[in-house]
Structure 1
Amino acid sequence: MKATAKAHPIQGLVKYHGMRDEERRFPYHDSISVCTAPSHTKTTVEFDADRDEDAYVVDGEELSGHGADRVRAVVDRVRDLADVDDRVRLESRNSFPSNVGLGSSSSGFAAAAMACVAAAGLDFSRPEISTIARLGSSSAARAVTGGFSDLHTGLNDDDCRSERIESSLEDDVRVVAGLVPSYKETEQAHREAADSHMFEARLAHIHDQLVEMRDALREGSFERVFETAEHDSLSLAATTMTGPTGWVYWQPDTLEIFNAVRRLRREESVPVYFSTDTGASVYVNTTDEYVDRVEELVADCGVETSVWEVGGPATVLSEDEALF
């Protein structure tokens, strides 16, 4: 009972913030994202009746404490659904830096859920698997379905699951990731979300942004999609910065990239927009025609860059790609 899966991380376009149910990770509102490839997480899972306890290893480090608890939530759900009690060995590797605002938890839990389901011999659709991945990270639900995906809020698994949004933009979008290696904390920020005086203001306009994003994706309007994503990033930051802890994720390099992107858009009419999740690293969104110019611009800000395309859904890999 062993399987290996791969999933791509997400860039939040209309991001969720805060959870109405922390244990089952039901967010306050819907959220939309795009997967970024070839960045990925690969995970191998084996159910073994001879093991005495679970073991979870990510990038060579065995998890403990809260990190292990989040993985266990995914594994235990699969055990319940498959009606098995075998202990699990899980190993995971990321092809990109983690804990810097580039979505490693999304691809990590998506790959874990996909591998667990396959190893347990369950036959589920990706929207169904997204409800399992969500128990580790709400953003992971969207990494399961891939591409441009929409996680619907709700109070049960029938409602709170991810679905793909088909868009003609998938082939043309390019994402230049500007790596600003500043460690970020997301879990605590989610817990504090509702304590920000800006949170109610965000809830008041988030549904308009969701409607705009869905329509723009289906219409294939690059400018509408990524202008909305840029505005949503600023709204999210306003909420995190006004919570009890006053999380300020952005660093000087982050702001330098913002300003460079706006100058390029204004002075050269290049279709380019910035976006951030909860972290200092920056997604700079453009099209295939302009990606070389945009990467040059981001690199000139003194940061490491990666160029990504739109990634597909989480997939089960062949046996010869297993990590152990």
Structure 2
Amino acid sequence: MISEKDFIPSNYTHSIEKGLYKWSAPSNIALVKYWGKKDHQIPANPSISFTLNNCKTLTSLAFEKKEGNDNFSFDLLFEGKPKEDFKPKIQKFFERIEQYLPFLKEYHFTINTENTFPHSSGIASSASGMAALAINLMSLEKELNPEMTEEHFFQKASFLARLGSGSACRSVKGNVVVWGNHNEIDGSSDLFGVEFPSKIHENFKNYQDTILLVDRGEKQVSSTVGHDLMHNHSYAERRFEQAHENLSKIKAILESGNLQEFIKIVESEALTLHAMMLTSMPYYILMKPNTLEIINRIWKFRNETNIPVCFTLDAGANVHVLYPENVREEVLELIKNELVGFCQNSQYICDEIGFGAKKL
């Protein structure tokens, strides 16, 4: 069983004065949702996600040895311009991971990051952003310790990403990723994401995700606050059990290719996530009227055509429309003819299953 101590390096065999790395890391969309966490970014229940392909963060990390090693030293640029309001989050991230990357105070870093999707589009960029930063930092550690195995490299990158943003650990490697201990998933861990260990049915190859941007505004309740509200939630324990049960079911579904059962689990998980918000204390609603309009129209279309299209939601108002590649034309027609009017500025993003981080 791997523990946190396995990610604390003993010593480095090489040194490096300065350099530059650049990686992209994708966003991801959970099928079984993680909602509620313990200390140190440990999830209260396991989750499983599709890695996306087009919605990603591109991050370069330039570094140079500096005088003194008392403080963290970094500049942060977003799309080439200084982004001061992001800096406290990076400072906090560095504080959390310093024991695992003891070289952090020895260098001055210049972090330059950009997203392929519109900023403030309501797509969570913390997962892709933290995954991209973590894997860049691991590239530096690999230079200091060239004997590091590829498995350890990606495992530790996922472990570090989790300490920046929980779901970021599912954005490092793999097309379907499990995070959290589950007795049917070999190697699963609360500490990092693992690639889905079984063969995935052809029905899910190139699965499509079209993201309907219902609301680009900032959420009135952040995910961090939402997770905390699960601590004394009346239905929390049963919800955590349900997530384990649904992960078992979706494991079998991904292996068998049963699209009707896939739809049931994925839509139920999305609505359960929002039910937890509706029944928190204080309670809150992140869905918008247009979210519900879209859901009802997807249901009507599916009932009339038998086309296996479904929706899922993150902790927000936007709708992820999931469907097999072979019905892409029909679903895009539905989106253009009926759903785009419920999107802010008629905006939507076409995406599909991807494979994780890439070195650029």
* Counterpart-to-counterpart distance in 2, 1:89 and 1:213: 41
User: Aligned pair 1:174/2:239, yes or no?
Assistant: no
Larger Rg: 2
Work out which of the residue numbers 130, 146, 150 in structure 2 matches 1:109.
130
Give the deviation of 1:189 after TM superposition.
0.7
8 Å Cα contact 2:58/2:132 also seen in 1? yes
Gaps of 5+ in 1: 318-324
* Counterpart-to-counterpart distance in 1, 2:74 and 2:104: 17
When residues 98 and 245 of structure 1 are mapped into structure 2, their CA distance, relative to the original with a 3 A threshold, is farther
* Counterpart-to-counterpart distance in 1, 2:54 and 2:104: 35
When residues 235 and 101 of structure 1 are mapped into structure 2, their CA distance, relative to the original with a 3 A threshold, is farther
Per-residue CA deviation, residues 71-105 of structure 1 (Å, 9 max, x unaligned), is 4357635532x576213221211111355553311
Give 1:46's aligned residue: 62
Give 1:33's aligned residue: 49
User: Aligned pair 1:253/2:269, yes or no?
Assistant: no
Q: Aligned-pair RMSD on alpha carbons?
A: 2.4
Gaps of 5+ in 2: 1-18, 183-187
Give 2:110's aligned residue: 89
Identity of aligned residues (%): 25
Query: Mapping of 1:61-100 within 5 angstroms?
Result: 61-64=83-86, 66-73=88-95, 76=98, 79-80=101-102, 82=103, 85-98=106-119, 100=121
User: Aligned pair 1:196/2:233, yes or no?
Assistant: yes
User: Aligned pair 1:55/2:75, yes or no?
Assistant: yes
Q: TM-score, normalised by structure 2?
A: 0.79
When residues 222 and 233 of structure 1 are mapped into structure 2, their CA distance, relative to the original with a 3 A threshold, is same
Give 1:320's aligned residue: none
Give the deviation of 1:17 after TM superposition.
0.7
8 Å Cα contact 1:32/1:151 also seen in 2? yes
Give the deviation of 1:253 after TM superposition.
1.5
Give the deviation of 1:69 after TM superposition.
3.7
User: Aligned pair 1:241/2:278, yes or no?
Assistant: yes
Query: Mapping of 1:1-324 within 5 angstroms?
Result: 1-21=19-39, 24-50=40-66, 53-59=73-79, 60=81, 61-64=83-86, 66-73=88-95, 76=98, 79-80=101-102, 82=103, 85-98=106-119, 100-120=121-141, 121=143, 123=148, 124-153=152-181, 160-165=191-196, 166-168=199-201, 169-180=203-214, 181-184=216-219, 185-299=222-336, 300-301=338-339, 302=341, 303=343, 304-317=347-360
* Counterpart-to-counterpart distance in 2, 1:262 and 1:219: 24
Helix, strand or coil at the partner of 2:163? coil
Helix, strand or coil at the partner of 1:182? coil
Number of corresponding residues: 312
